[in-house]
Amino acid sequence: MVDLQAQYQAIKADVDAGIQEVINSAAFIKGPKVEAFRQHLEEHLGVRHVIPVGNGTDALQIALMALGLKPGDEVITPTFTFIATAEVVALLGLTPVVVDVDRDTMNISVEAVRRAITPRTRAIVPVHLFGQCADMEPLMQLAREHHLYVVEDACQAIDAQYTFSDGTRCKAGCIGHIGCTSFFPSKNLGCYGDGGAIFTDNDRLAEEMRAIANHGMVVRYHHDRVGVNSRLDALQAAVLDAKLPHLNEYTRRRQEAAAAYNEGFRDNPRLLTPVCIPASTHVYHQYTLRVTGTDRDRLRDQLAERGIPAMIYYPVPLHLQKAYQDPRYKVGDFPAAEWLASCVLSLPMHTELDNEQLDYIIRNVNLLTA
Ligand SMILES: *Cc1c(COP(=O)(O)O)cnc(C)c1O
């Protein structure tokens, strides 16, 4: 699905030098490498504050901790996503309220959010799934009307760009009150272990989240609130700082691979290719087909036999997960999400796909669905 080894070979000198520098300095926790990467990422994204943390799940948790929510407060999130989003809501004693997604974009449905708002709703956590922004203009408008916080899960969408109707452009994660991302190795900007970051333009929230990520401490050994320990490792910051200058190029290569897939599957009536909204660019964390009129799971197995990995992100929506069983929800409540869970199939997508590999994948997918 990804080829991190080939990508490393192309930037080996810079990565190795950065790692060596950290080892020589022995500044393994915080220190100048983390600071440098933080600053470079702030400049790259055009956001006031980047707060590096231990991983994307921590980023989401710290973001929600900073909002001063009380047990029972409701947080709205899509049911078709990775589990982390709902997990942190549940861990904090908040009430996850899941809503359906759009069948075409696979992102949170703004209409469904509107219907799910109650007097207890405090925040919305849209997920920019597979690399395309959720439709943030109407979502932010809705949030303003109801005085809700918006915490973007931009773990799959770093560098995707959203254009508002007045022409304003914002990067994914820099639109709502807070944005979260992950540097998990296979993410679009991935390190060689765990890593994550929080974005915000709000000085007060930034200060709060920096303290929370550091044991709730502003003045050393004075703890004003309950916090956690979540830091971006300096060695990982060295990897990320070497990769960041290549991010535009990496995104372009993903988009080229996606364009080749789109072209290759254009005339295949059994495959629905990704649908993009005009307001957002797509950075293709995943290239996800919707397979119709043929057995998706059999197709995946047959592709595997031909040496082509394909993955199902995600086979079970949140409302049907055992750990999140809730009398409020049952099978059939979120038809788009349940349909997607039955038909999505993600093909290999990374920065090192060459034409020969793409041709081989396209040819075999078309053959097996003919
Ligand atoms: C990867 C991911 C996360 C979690 O990131 P980690 O760094 O693995 O904790 C959260 N949400 C989404 C949508 C993700 O893809």
Query: In ligand 1, which atom is closest to the CA atom of 195?
Result: 7
Q: How confident is the model at residue 145 (pLDDT cuts 50, 70, 90)?
A: very high
Q: 151 with 280, same domain?
A: no
Beta pairing class for 196-200 and 271-272: unpaired
CATH number at residue 334: 3.90.1150.10
Report how far apart, in Å, the C-alpha atoms of 196 and of each of 67, 108, 155, 219, 244 are.
Answer: 19, 22, 8, 24, 14
The residue from 245, 274, 296 where one domain ends is 245
Tell how far the Cα of 350 is from the centroid of ligand 1, in angstroms. 17
Q: How confident is the model at residue 364 (pLDDT cuts 50, 70, 90)?
A: very high
State yes or no: pLDDT of 3 exceeds 90: no
pLDDT tens-place string over residues 196-239: 999 999 999 999 999 999 999 988 888 888 999 999 999 999 99
Q: How confident is the model at residue 337 (pLDDT cuts 50, 70, 90)?
A: very high
CATH number at residue 110: 3.40.640.10
Report how far apart, in Å, the C-alpha atoms of 72 and of each of 68, 95, 122 are.
Answer: 12, 5, 10
pLDDT tens-place string over residues 106-129: 999 999 999 999 999 999 999 999
Residue 49 CA to residue 44 CA, distance in Å, equals 12
Minimal CA–CA distance to 78: which of 46, 102, 55? 102
Counting ligand 1 atoms within 8 A of each CB, the residue from 62, 82, 233 with the most, and so the one to mutate, is 82
Q: 240 with 274, same domain?
A: no
Q: Do 320 and 334 meet the contact criterion of CB atoms below 8 Å apart?
A: no
For the whole model, what pTM was predicted? 0.97
The residue from 220, 245, 270 where one domain ends is 245
State yes or no: pLDDT of 84 exceeds 90: yes
Q: 97 with 230, same domain?
A: yes
Domain residue limits at 66: 4-245
Q: 156 with 305, same domain?
A: no
- Confidence (pLDDT) at 224: 87
Q: 210 with 80, same domain?
A: yes
Q: 51 with 154, same domain?
A: yes
- Interval 245-270 mean pLDDT: 98
Q: 160 with 233, same domain?
A: yes
The answer to whether the CB of 286 is under 6 A from ligand 1 is no
The answer to whether the CB of 196 is under 6 A from ligand 1 is yes
Q: How many structural domains comprise the chain?
A: 2
Q: Do 211 and 218 meet the contact criterion of CB atoms below 8 Å apart?
A: yes
Angle between helices 355-368 and 296-305 (to 10 degrees): 130
The answer to whether the CB of 107 is under 6 A from ligand 1 is no
- The percentage of residues in the chain with a pLDDT greater than 70, rounded to a whole number, is 100
pLDDT tens-place string over residues 289-328: 999 999 999 999 999 999 999 999 999 999 999 999 899 9
Q: 56 with 160, same domain?
A: yes
Q: 217 with 364, same domain?
A: no
The answer to whether the CB of 57 is under 6 A from ligand 1 is yes
Tell how far the Cα of 195 is from the centroid of ligand 1, in angstroms. 10
Q: Do 154 and 196 meet the contact criterion of CB atoms below 8 Å apart?
A: no
For all residues of the chain together, what is the average pLDDT? 97
The answer to whether the CB of 314 is under 6 A from ligand 1 is no
State yes or no: pLDDT of 45 exceeds 90: yes
- Confidence (pLDDT) at 1: 85
Q: 231 with 253, same domain?
A: no
- Confidence (pLDDT) at 219: 86
- Confidence (pLDDT) at 200: 98
The answer to whether the CB of 155 is under 6 A from ligand 1 is yes
Q: 97 with 21, same domain?
A: yes
- Confidence (pLDDT) at 220: 87
- Confidence (pLDDT) at 55: 98
The residue from 201, 219, 245 where one domain ends is 245
The answer to whether the CB of 105 is under 6 A from ligand 1 is no
Q: 269 with 231, same domain?
A: no
